[in-house]
Amino acid sequence: MEKGLRENRKTEEIRAQFRETHLQVSDFIYPLFIEEGNNIKKEIASMPGIFRYSLDQINDELNEVVALGIKSVILFGIPLHKDAEGSESWNENGIIQQAIHYIKKNYPTLQVIADVCFCEYTNHGHCGVLCNHDVDNELTLKNLRKQVLAQAKAGVDMVAPSGMMDFAVLEIRDELNKNGFQHIPIMGYSVKYASAYYGPFRDAADSTPSFGDRRTYQMDSANRNEAIKEAQADVDEGSAILMVKPALSYLDIIRDLKNNFDLPIAAYNVSGEYAMIKAAGKNGWIDEQRVMMETLLSIKRAGADIIITYFAKEAAKILKASPTPPKEGLC
């Protein structure tokens, strides 16, 4: 008999030796929603286990994050006041600037990444300045400079522009360099699709567009060649990390980027992907923990070096305990 491949699967020890992909806690970035105000800890209905916090309620969450060995968080702000341009996003006392300052002061070892966009700050929910019912690229770039400078002054470790404006990375890199922030890297949301999987996030961040959709700036789900062009543009403009978003319906794109570029690749395991697993798990239709770990593993296997995920804490707990897989029945 020829030797088959089942030999490599005989015991957990052998399987471990043949395992090609390994998840680590340091792969994860954990998203946090920070709401302006006091005494707020509100669970997001479609994202069980994920909360909006005011800064005075955030310590327990951050203590847990640090204790679990999670190295990095990405912040989304929900301001009290919204306006047409989203000017709270560059207010030096705005909610995200306060949050950056607070977290860096009290949890100095935690890497703080700021999402850079306007949809949570504008009264119309679009990702920039409107002109003739569409987001104006030039005007939005001007405001992006202001937002990123405010975040840099507050002490942010990394910035992540998510609005899919052309030349955003170029302008942000220039603004940071001009002001002595050469050391702050940019993680571009290089390849971000106009996706229905963002639904729960828009409830979480109060950022649903009041009219229309984001198809004039986010990518068409059908496009693969264009992903390479978007990623190349971010490389040329000075992005330190490339991102694909969402993750699960775009695993091919993650692999394309991994094969074509030598920068770290991040993938955003988005709110809808989280909500689906949670919902099926709650109903007892799937083994939630195993599906979660298989999902995260698939994103890494596809080529992601970094995974932004609402599952970060739960997955970290499992990786920490590293339980041996349950024994299957005989024959």
Binding site for Zn ion (CB under 5 A): 117, 119, 127, 163
Which part of the chain contacts ligand PBG (CB under 6 A), choosing from 86-94, 113-121, 279-287, 297-305? 113-121
Strands (E), the chain: 28-35, 41-44, 47-53, 72-78, 111-116, 130-131, 134-135, 158-161, 187-192, 241-245, 265-269, 306-309
161 scored as a contact of ligand PBG (CB under 6 A): no
CB of 168 to ligand PBG, least distance (A): 11
CB of 323 to ligand PBG, least distance (A): 28
For ligand PBG, which residue of 163, 251, 258, 288 counts as binding (CB under 6 A)?
163
Nearest to 241 by CA among 229, 258, 226, 255: 258
Residues 42, 71, 245, 282: which is the catalytic one?
Answer: 245
Nearest residue (CB) to ligand PBG, 114 versus 302: 114
Mark whether 278 is an active-site residue: no
Partner whose binding site includes residue 270, from Zn ion, ligand PBG, none (CB under 5 to 8 Å by kind) = ligand PBG
Residue nearest to ligand PBG (CB): 201
CA distance 89 to 307: 25
For ligand PBG, which residue of 33, 90, 181, 198 counts as binding (CB under 6 A)?
198
Which residues from 37-96 bind ligand PBG, rule CB under 6 A? none
CA distance 40 to 279: 24
Nearest residue (CB) to ligand PBG, 244 versus 324: 244
270 scored as a contact of ligand PBG (CB under 6 A): yes
Residues 192, 258, 278, 300: which is the catalytic one?
Answer: 192
Is residue 10 within 8 A of residue 52, CB to CB? The reply is: no
201 scored as a contact of ligand PBG (CB under 6 A): yes
How far are the Cα atoms of 265, 295, 301 from residue 20, in angstroms, in the given order? 18, 15, 8
CB of 119 to ligand PBG, least distance (A): 5
CA end-to-end span of the chain, whole Å? 22
Mark whether 192 is an active-site residue: yes
CB of 274 to ligand PBG, least distance (A): 7
Cis peptide before 79 (omega within 30 of 0): no
115 scored as a contact of ligand PBG (CB under 6 A): yes
Q: What is the dihedral of CA 203, 51, 44, 186, to 10 degrees?
A: 30
CA distance 259 to 254: 9
CB of 221 to Zn ion, least distance (A): 18
Nearest residue (CB) to Zn ion, 161 versus 303: 161
CB of 221 to ligand PBG, least distance (A): 13
Tell me the two tokens of residue 177: 């360099």
Question: Which residues lie below 8 Å from residue 128, measured CB to CB, with a gap of 6+?
Answer: 86, 118, 122, 135, 136, 137, 139, 140, 143, 144, 163, 165, 217
CA distance 78 to 127: 14
Nearest residue (CB) to ligand PBG, 202 versus 260: 202
Helix, strand, coil % in the chain, rounded to nearest 5? 45, 20, 35
Nearest residue (CB) to ligand PBG, 102 versus 197: 197
Catalytic positions:
192, 245
Which spans of this chain sit near ligand PBG (rule: CB under 6 A)?
115, 117, 119, 127, 162-163, 198, 201-202, 207, 214, 270-271
